Structure formats: structure tokens, C-alpha cells
Amino acid sequence: MIDQACKPGQMPLPTSLCGRVLAVGASDAMGRGGVQGDMKTLTALGVFCATAVTGLIADLSRAPAASRIVDVPAETVAAQMASVLDDIGADVIKTGWLRHADVIEAVAEQVERKAGRALLVVDPDMLAPGGAPLLDAAAIQAFKARLLVKATMLTPSIGEAAVLTGMSIDSVDDMVQAAMMLTTLGPEVIYLKGREIFGDTVTDVIVTDGEPHILEAPRLHAPRTTGAGTALASGIAGGLARGLKPRDAVELARLHVREAIIAALGTGDLNPLDHGYAFARVQGSAPRWLTEEGER
Amino acid sequence: MTADGRARVLIIAGSDSGGGAGIQADVKAVTALGADAATAVTALTVQNTLGVTGVMETPIDFIAEQMRTVFDRYGVQGVGALKSGMLHSVDVIDTVADLMREAGASLPFVLDPVMVAKGGARLLREDASQALIDRLLPRATVVTPNLPEAEVLTGMKIASLDDMIRAGRVLRRQGASAALVKGGHLTGDRLFDVLVCADGVAVFEDSRLETRHTHGTGCTTASAIAAGLAQGMTLVDAVARARVYVRTAMETAPGLGAGHGPLNHAHPLRNDRPTLSCFASGRR
């Protein structure tokens, strides 16, 4: 697929449909994270999204402590992926919530089947809000040994990067060091999301071609940012599916998420992203009313 | 509009891994029409454009838990409309009806009486049609059957526009506030959908589209109507917008898959979106 909107220099956010992403992750009934967050983001970026659901959760932001999880068996995850990959296809496979070693193994096998045809973006959903680990040791081992080694791109938060590297990350210098270390685990590109380090500037680090780049943006004082991390990762997957290079895919995702946060400002703190800004109003066309007897 | 100023639709339906129907179509349609979507997943289908090859049903109590969580966290006032799709069994229908009563509000409710998937797989057990009629139809702001579904619900044979109007009237007598009977299954160059509601009978007429990309048209229509109701539109305006939205989505379908392909849910994207600097020239 070729993105006609992509020209060197200036590029508008997408205005038409291009590219396919298979989102592998949890279903979040609240609609903020998980595959719902993926679908909202990707639709707003003009990218087709299919899904393989790995677990059903009522409120992803409170799981697992205060929201029950219905795990989906590994073979059902694999069947959903195969069903999509063998018919619709995917330019990018994006993974999120993967909690068990057997599910990670099944996902890795499906990715392997399409090696060379679909890129893999891994958003390592490893920590509950508050920092408790979501994956046990066997799952972390499978995640590193089976999935990370196949990833084109990894999009961790600071907490997740700390778990994966064993480093303590407290500064931008630490972020650069951790991101460089993560490239040794397999992914060619690392996008390390820095919003957990407080200050008026949000600093993210991207490593491409072995070189770190620092991306800064003024912090938006949105109430909370539930769903923003997912939206960044799926936006990046969407950019890659549209044929952008990783650095541009990251810029695309950052600009969209920023616009979606701005659009939601002042609408309460439960859903801080509003993707609706991306769409024009659709005009209906009026019907013909029949009289009591019928006019025909 | 809802408590937080966001028009939100709670979607109660199955998941289509292929992304073309089910909650995937619903979430995409609601998003593209400027509203927010929350979901209660009733089942996971393993599905692509060729058909359904597997179904994992959500435990009944967890369907309730998803609905309750959305009502608790956003508040009943935070949900502007409900939309239901695949509700495969009597137990699921009873649970959804109970939860709607528990929420206590007379929320706009779009009932899409999903019975059979595009590829022919049965998504509603035979004994469940009566439960749908008894428990959910009386709560529906609008029920949106295609012709085979309208025939099952009304027991009528429907072969003409007049039959469609009659079926709509029967569905209202069965308890629905309004019925949108969709005529896509009739033959002929013209396509008619009929809305029978308190204001009378409205006929929507179009030329017929010849396309195999019809996966999820029913889900998409119903959730587009629900988005309009959540946004405070009148029913007839919500239906009128939903039909234009779906038609354009079919006309611009991306052509994916070997069977009934998905629609282009993203077609309303603005063409005056913000511009970003492009670093790398060319493509990956």
C-alpha cells in the first residue's frame, strides 16, 4: 500500500483510508484502551483495523486489582489472528495486552508465519496502573525470547522500559541509555514514552538506525491520560501501515494524540481523548413521508 | 449529550476479528460520526470476509459486569444511547434486558436483531427470537431488521414495499417505538428502507449498489443511528444520516478479503487536518 498523502516536507494528517493493522490486545469495555482504543485511533488515522482479542476486561485502567479479566485461550487468539492474516492480511501487527506465556507463544507463531510481510509493533503492556507487574516470570521470559526478537518497533513507557532493562530511569539521560539498551533485545526502533517524568515538558526518546533522538513537547494539562499510551502505539502502527518511516509514524501518532487530547479538554476526566475532531459532519438525505392512505 | 458533554453509545454486541462487523464496525462508525463508544462484548467470533469459523461466548455474568461498569463509571447520564447486536441466547437477552431495567433510565435504544452472519452462520438460537420480542422489542426506540429478520420477528412473508410498511406496523404493535425495515434483500434497481414511527411512514429510496463489500452494513447502520440519538438528533435525522454514512462507506470500501469485504468507516475524515513535518523522504 502506498500513502499518496506522504510527501517529504509537510504532510497533513491522513484524509483517506490506507493500510491495514491487526491489533492484538484486550477488550476494554470502557472503550479507552485495548482494541477499542486501537480502533478509534486507527479510524481517525484512516487505517483499517482488524483485531485479535486476548482478554475481556470491564475497565482496563483498574485491572487486574479492581476489574476482573476473562482470559481468552491461546488457540482462540491464534485462530482470530490466522483468520485475519489469511484473508484480509495486515501491513502491521500491533500487540498490546499479552499476559500469559502460552498466548505470547501463539502470537509469536502467527507473526512468524507472516515474517517479512507484516511489521510487528510491540506495546509492552506489562504493568498495571500503580506499577504492579501484569506478567509472571515465565511470561516475561516468553515475551523477550519469542516476541521482542521479532519486533520492528517497541513502544514502552518508562516503567515498562525499567522492567525490561532492569535499570532505574529518572532522567532524560537514563531514558536514552535504556532505549539504546532495548535495541539489543531485538527491535530496530524504540519509542520510549516519557510522560511519567514530571515537568512542563514531555520528553520522549526514539532510537532509529542506532541513533537516539529526543522529542519534546509542552505538557498538556489534561486531567488524566488513560488511553493515550495505547493511542500512541496504535497511531505509530497506523503510520507504518500507511508506509511511513518510523520517525514519521511517531510524529503522526504524537500529533494526532495531541489533537485528540486538546479536543477532549473540559469534557471531564474519564475519557481524555476525543478522536471526533478528525471527522467532518455527515449530512443525511431526507426521506419521503407517506400520507395515511399511502401516496403511491 | 451526556454528563461529561460527550455523546456516548454503549454497544452490546459480538466481536468480529475481521474488523468489518460487530463491535468493530460499531466502534468505528460511532467514532467517525463524532461520538464516543463503550462496549459490552457478548461473544468473540473468529471471522473474516468468508465467514465465521469459531465462537467463544462471554460468560453471562461478565456481560452484565461490562454493562454495569460502564454505567457506574460514566454514570447512567454518561451514556447517551444503547445499541445491541449479537445476543445469541435467551440468557444473554434476559441479562441485557435486566441490566437495562437496573440502569433505570429510558435511554434511547437501537435494537439490531442480529440473527445470521453475512456468511450464513446462525448468531441467534432459534428459541431466542421470542425472548427478543418479549424482552427487548418493547424497550426499543427503533428496531432495525433486514427482511429475513423482519420475517422471523413478525411471522410475515415480505416481498414488496407495502409488505415492508405492514411489517413495520406489526413491529410497532409488538412494542417497538419505531421500526426501520431495510429492503436490501428485495430485487430491483431501486432500494427502499422504510421507517415506521409515531410521526408516520418515511420511505428512503436510493439506487441499488452492486458490490460484494457489504460486511457489517447492518451493524454499522444501527450504531450510526445510535450515535445520532446520543448526539440528540431526532430519530428520522439520525436514520437519514446513518444511511448516507453507510452508503458512502460501501461505495469507498477498501476491497479487502476474498468474500464480503468490510466498509470504509473512516470516509468522513476531514480534508483540512493539521499538518506535520515529514522527516524522512520516501517510504520505509
Question: pLDDT digit string (tens) for A51-79?
Answer: 999 999 999 988 888 888 999 999 999 99
Chain A touched by B220 (CB under 8 Å): no
Q: Give the full edge-to-edge strand order of the sheet including A119-122.
A: A69-71, A48-57, A20-28, A92-95, A119-122, A153-154, A189-192, A201-208, A211-218
pLDDT at position A195 is 83
Which of the pair, A125 or B177, is modelled with greater confidence? B177
Q: Rounded to whole angstroms, how far apart are CA atoms A291 and A293?
A: 6
Residue B118 among the catalytic residues: no
Mean pLDDT of B142-156: 96
- The yes-or-no answer on residue B218 being catalytic is yes
CA dist A143 → A104, A167, A211, A249 (Å): 6, 18, 25, 24
More confident position, A229 or A280 = A280
* Pick from B33, B54, B203: CB nearest A282: B33
Q: Is B22 a catalytic residue?
A: no
Question: Given a cut of 90, is residue B133 above it in pLDDT?
Answer: yes
Percentage above 70 pLDDT, chain A? 94
Interstrand relation of B36-48 and B8-16 (parallel, antiparallel or unpaired): parallel
Of B24, B62, B242, the CB nearest to A51: B24
Is the CB of residue B191 less than 8 Å away from at least one CB of chain A? no
| ipTM of the complex model | 0.96
Local structure of B169: helix, strand or coil: helix
B95 backbone φψ class: left, alpha, beta (φ>0; ψ -120 to 50) = alpha
Beta carbons within 8 Å of B47's beta carbon, 6+ residues apart: A83, B16, B17, B18, B21, B22, B53, B117, B119
* Confidence grade of residue A89 (pLDDT, cut at 50, 70, 90): very high
pLDDT at A4: 44
Mean pLDDT value of segment A7-21:
85
B262 to chain A, closest Cα gap in Å: 9
Is B221 a catalytic site residue? Answer: no
- In chain B the first and final C-alpha atoms are separated, in Å, by 43
DSSP category for residue A145: I
No. of helices (H) and no. of strands (E), chain B: 8, 10
Rounded CA-CA distance B225/A176 in Å is: 48
Q: Is B141 on the interface with A (CB under 8 A)?
A: no
- Whether residue B80 contacts residue B1, with contact meaning beta carbons closer than 8 Å, is answered with yes
Packing angle of the helix pair B60-74, B90-103 (nearest 10 deg)? 20
Chain-chain contact of A290 with B200 (C-beta, under 8 angstroms): yes
Categorize the per-residue pLDDT at B105 as very low, low, confident or very high, splitting at 50, 70 and 90: low
pLDDT of residue A271: 81
* Residue B284 confidence (pLDDT): 44
The stretch B32-50 carries a mean pLDDT of 97
Q: What is the pLDDT of residue A59?
A: 94
Q: Averaged over B50-66, what is the pLDDT?
A: 97
How close is the nearest chain A Cα to the Cα of B182, in Å? 14
Interstrand relation of A201-208 and A189-192 (parallel, antiparallel or unpaired): antiparallel
Calpha distance B173→B167 (Å, rounded): 10
**pLDDT band at A1, cuts 50/70/90?**
very low
Chain B residue closest to A264 (CA)? B6
* Least confident span in A248-257, B98-107, B180-189: B98-107
Q: What is the pLDDT of residues B231-263, one digit of tens each?
A: 999 999 999 999 999 999 999 999 999 999 999
**pTM greater than 0.90 (yes/no):** yes
